[in-house]
Chain A
Amino acid sequence: MPGVSGRGLAALALLAGIGLLAVAAALAVGSVPITVTQLLAVLTGGGDPLHRELLLSLRLPRALAAFATGGLLSLAGALMQVLLRNPLADPYVLGLSGGAAVGALGAMLLGAATFGVSGAAFAGALLSTLVVFGLAQGVGGWTPTRLLLTGVVVAAGWSAVVTFLLTLSPADQLPGMLYWLMGDLSYARSPLAAWLVLAPALLVTLPLGRGLNVLARGPLQAAALGVAVRPLEITVYVLASLLTAVAVTTAGSVGFVGLVVPHMLRLLLGNDQRLILPASVLAGGALLTLADTLARTLLAPEQLPVGVITALLGVPTFLFLLYRSR
């Protein structure tokens, strides 16, 4: 890949390998264990019909959806952290997940089907993005600080509406709603939309990497080094919002992945966005695939919300890396 050093390529290859292993594990593990030989048989077009059905219509779509969602969230998080020049930024920091949650919960309350819930979540996410961007624009144009403050305040507003919706909801709907709020991949019927956004988004962001490295040093320094700052910032904002909206639509608001995966990679690989952006996609995808596999097998037949697992896996790993860092 252009713009990435030999060491970077090795890291990307390693992460891609881990990603493949995570997907393979997601396919093999479950109520009916499937061995590697059986797995290969199905993937090459043969195998047991039960295994075929189980793999191709249940486990594979879910694993692919998990991978894409993890990739979307990590890429969005990495972009937001550079855009806002704030290490605490995550894909949800600008209130996007709150808007999506209000949409999704509202649709559930009205008894909408899965498709309706996804559509309402996406609409809510876009609405929230427009509201935050419009308000942060204000009279004098937006700055990262103003964008951040507007986002945090709008998110607080959404969270009040979410609580209100939860109190209104009948008891039998509450578990589904709480699962959605913590992130749940059992809603993910088709990974297609997520991949259709993730792949071109990654292609668009890769050539932006060096410009983002310069932008991370502040807008004036970036402009002095030849970066068209405002167009780049708007591209990154729109892109990160779209990625997050699609991720939230696919799996609810899975927390933690978007905040922590880019940071973990920065601690391990340095802070070159040309490497961090593609690495985030691979590492985020692998982490969420693994987490979802654990979420549906640890207490089987009960399923845990995947957000619980991402946090339980991510928190200690992250704290360890942070503790060890310079």
Chain B
Amino acid sequence: MATLETRNLVIDIPGRADGRPLSLCLAPGQRWGILGPNGAGKTTLLHTLAGLHPPRAGRVYLDGAPLATLKRKAVARRLALVFQERQDGFPATVLETALIGRHPFLAPWQREGAEDLRLAREALAALAVDHLADRLVTTLSGGERQRVAIATALTQTPALWLADEPTNHLDLHHQVAVMRLLAGQARRGATVVMGLHDLNLAARWCDHLLLLFPDGQHCAGPAEVMLEPRALERLYGQPLTMTRVGGAPVFVPTPDPGDPVDHDR
């Protein structure tokens, strides 16, 4: 169980005004979605929440302790971050990559044990990449790499997930699988925070939403309150039409009279 709290937080995006300071409490079991147009600061916020990017003002607290005063290793034992961009400079196998998720739990001289190996193999199986265990990560497709990155975070057994576009490069089937996995983590008491550009994924899988506006304004709350078409239209600067599929709201851009439409189909 881990709770992440921000008090009067202003993320540092060069050249942008402070906007409204963010005070939020992300509690165990919650599935948060961070929504916003490109450049609104979703990634910067996630990095700030992980303590990788110093805020311009305010503080982040992990279980009541200021994040900046905690040792990186202590943070990494509770919090995992799935990056949107990855750098696989030196070749490593898929299994080796997943195993680095155990790094924060091992002493410098310690080698990964049977338990660590079990966690890594289970994580690879959960993301359906266990058959690639001995392949070099650099030889995988974008979607496969994305699943390996999530498997690495799963191997880290975090109480708090920060996932930046976790469905990047994934086809529909794997998108659903990853969202189910994260929802399952939340059900078991993890706090899950996702940066998403897909409004419908957020509407379907998140119970809390944070809308980030490009000018630094924001609003946050339970998903059913936040999925207000007028607010979302303002967020994306795009007229939206809402419908419901299986009870969940689905948003599509309202067609413009000038858009090409094939009426014969």
Q: Which residues of B contact A207 (CB under 8 A)?
A: 108-109
Count residues of A near B (Cβ-Cβ below 8 Å).
32
B22 within 8 A of A: no
Q: Most chain-B CB neighbours within 10 Å: which of A3, A208, A272, A274?
A: A3
Given contacts A216-B90, A218-B87, A272-B96, A224 and B80 within 8 Å (CB-CB): yes
Given contacts A217-B100, A271-B90, A272-B96, A2 and B109 within 8 Å (CB-CB): yes
Q: Which residues of A contact B103 (CB under 8 A)?
A: 210-211, 214, 225-227
Q: Most chain-A CB neighbours within 10 Å: which of B51, B74, B75, B109?
A: B109
A227 and chain B: residue at smallest CB distance: B72
Q: Which residues of B contact A11 (CB under 8 A)?
A: none
A85 to B92 CA separation, bound complex (whole angstroms) = 14
> Which 9 A-B pairs give the minimum distances between C-beta atoms?
A226-B76, A226-B104, A207-B108, A226-B73, A218-B87, A2-B109, A224-B81, A85-B89, A216-B90
Contact between A226 and B77, CB atoms less than 8 A apart: yes
How many residue pairs between the two chains, A and B, have CB atoms under 8 Å in the bound complex?
Answer: 89
By a beta-carbon cutoff of 8 Å, the part of chain B in contact with chain A is 47, 50-52, 71-77, 80-81, 83, 86-93, 96, 100-101, 103-104, 106, 108-111, 136, 139, 156
B136 and chain A: residue at smallest CB distance: A326
A206 to B73 CA separation, bound complex (whole angstroms) = 19
Partner of A214, one of B74, B77, B100: B100
A87 to B90 CA separation, bound complex (whole angstroms) = 8
Contact between B89 and A225, CB atoms less than 8 A apart: no
A145 within 8 A of B: no
Contact between A208 and B89, CB atoms less than 8 A apart: no
Given contacts A224-B80, A227-B72, A216 and B104 within 8 Å (CB-CB): no
Contact between A271 and B92, CB atoms less than 8 A apart: yes
A206 to B107 CA separation, bound complex (whole angstroms) = 12
A82 and chain B: residue at smallest CB distance: B90
Partner of A223, one of B52, B92, B136: B52
Contact between A4 and B90, CB atoms less than 8 A apart: no
A3 to B52 CA separation, bound complex (whole angstroms) = 28
A217 to B98 CA separation, bound complex (whole angstroms) = 12
A228 to B104 CA separation, bound complex (whole angstroms) = 11
A250 to B96 CA separation, bound complex (whole angstroms) = 38
A214 to B106 CA separation, bound complex (whole angstroms) = 13
Contact between B108 and A226, CB atoms less than 8 A apart: no
A229 to B73 CA separation, bound complex (whole angstroms) = 11
A213 within 8 A of B: yes
* Contacts of A199-251 to chain B: CB distance below 8 A: 206-208, 210-211, 213-214, 216-218, 220-221, 223-229
Contact between A213 and B100, CB atoms less than 8 A apart: yes
B92 and chain A: residue at smallest CB distance: A271
Contact between A225 and B108, CB atoms less than 8 A apart: no
Partner of A217, one of B75, B81, B89: B89
A280 to B42 CA separation, bound complex (whole angstroms) = 43
Contact between B111 and A5, CB atoms less than 8 A apart: yes
Q: Which residues of A contact B90 (CB under 8 A)?
A: 82, 85, 87, 216, 266, 271
A320 to B73 CA separation, bound complex (whole angstroms) = 41
